[in-house]
Chain A
Amino acid sequence: MNQLDKKKKVLLISSSGGHWIEMRRLEVAFENFEKCYISTNPNYHQSITEGKFYAVPDASMWDKFHLLGQALKIFFLLLYLRPDVVISTGAAPGFFGLFFAKKMKIKTIWVDSLANVEQLSLSGQKVKPYADLWLTQWEHLSTPEGPYFHGAVL
C-alpha cells in the first residue's frame, strides 16, 4: 500500500458518562479516519461499531494514586497506537491523552464538556499548554486567547 493511501488515525479519549456521550457526537468530523478509543468503563466496547476500544483505570483529578496508573496506561497505549490526532472532551484521561500526545508531536484537540457552564473544567484549564485546538462549548467562557467557541454538541 502506498504511504499516501494509508488512512490517518484518530484517538478519541474520555472518562465515562457524559464526557463519553459528548465525545461520540464529534466522531462525524473523522469520517475518513481509522478510529480508536480509550475510556474508563470496560463495557463501552459494546457501543463501538468500528475501531478498537481500550479501557484504562478510573480516576479523577483529585485521586493521585489511581491517576498515576491511568496516566501510565495511556502513555503506553499512545506509544502502541501512534495516532495522528487525539481528541477529548475530558476529564483526567483526556488530559493525559493530550499531555503525552503533545510530547509525541501528535495533533491535539480539547472540547471542554457542556457540563462546565460557569468555568472551564479543572482538566480543561490544565490542558491549555498541550491542546493545539482548545475549545469550550459555551460562548461566554471563550476569550481571544482561548478557549475558543465554535458551537456545541447539541
Chain B
Amino acid sequence: MIFVSVGSQLPFDRLIKTIDDWAATHQNETVFAQIGNSSFIPQNIEFCETIDPINYSKRIKDADLIIAHAGTGTIITALELGIPLLIMPRLAEKGEHRNNHQLATVKRFLNFPLIKVVEDETLLLSTLNQMLKDKTLNTDKVKTTVSEKLITTIKNFISE
C-alpha cells in the first residue's frame, strides 16, 4: 500500500493530482491519500481530508511506501517505522506554502537511505516507479533517537 500525506494545514494538489493520474494506469497498487482541505477530488485513489491519530497509525503501518510533502511529522514517522519515503517539497511560487522553507527542510534529509527527494512531478513519477522496483530499499530500519544532550538540557533546566 502507498500512503500519501500532505499534512493537515494546506492542500497540495500538484502532488495529489500526479499520484491520482499515476494510479489510473497502475491499478494493481493500492493508494490511500490524506489530501487536506482541497477542491480537487481524486478519481482513482481512496482519500480523506484529514485523518485522526488512530487511523493514521493503522494506515501508515501498512504502507510499503510513503509519498509526502516535506513535513517534519511525516518524515519522523517514516524514519521511526523504517518505511521508504518519497518527498516533493511545496513551493511558495506555486502558492503551496507561505514561503520556501520546505526546500530547506529536505536538504537535511538528503543523505538518509530511506528518503528520496524530488523537485517536480516528472521526477516524482520516475522515482516512484524506481522505488517500487527497488526491493532492497525496504531492508534497513533507521533508528532515530532524540538527542540526549537536548533532553539533558531540558531536564537540568526544569530541576533548577
Residues of A at the B interface (CB closer than 8 Å) are 8, 10, 16-22, 25-26, 28-30, 33, 41, 43-44, 46-47, 60, 62, 84-85, 87, 107, 109, 111, 113-118, 132-133, 135, 137, 150-154
Taking Cβ atoms with an 8 Å cutoff, the residues of B that contact A are 7-9, 50, 52-54, 70-77, 79, 98, 101-102, 104-105, 107-108, 144-155, 157-158
Main secondary structure of the interface of B (DSSP, over half): helix
B151 touches A21 (CB 8 A): no
Q: Would you give 17 A-B contacts (Cβ < 8 Å), ordered by A?
A: A8-B158, A17-B8, A17-B9, A17-B73, A18-B7, A26-B154, A33-B158, A43-B53, A62-B98, A84-B158, A116-B101, A117-B104, A135-B150, A150-B150, A152-B147, A153-B147, A154-B76
Q: CB distance A22 to B150 under 8 Å?
A: no
Name the A residues within 8 Å of B54 (CB-CB).
43, 46-47
State whether A115 touches B101 (Cβ < 8 A): yes
Closest B residue by C-beta to A150: B153
In the assembled complex, the CB of B54 is this many whole angstroms from the nearest CB of chain A, namely 5
Complex CA–CA separation, A41 to B70 (angstroms)? 20
- Chain B residues contacting A114 (CB-CB under 8 Å) are 72, 105, 108
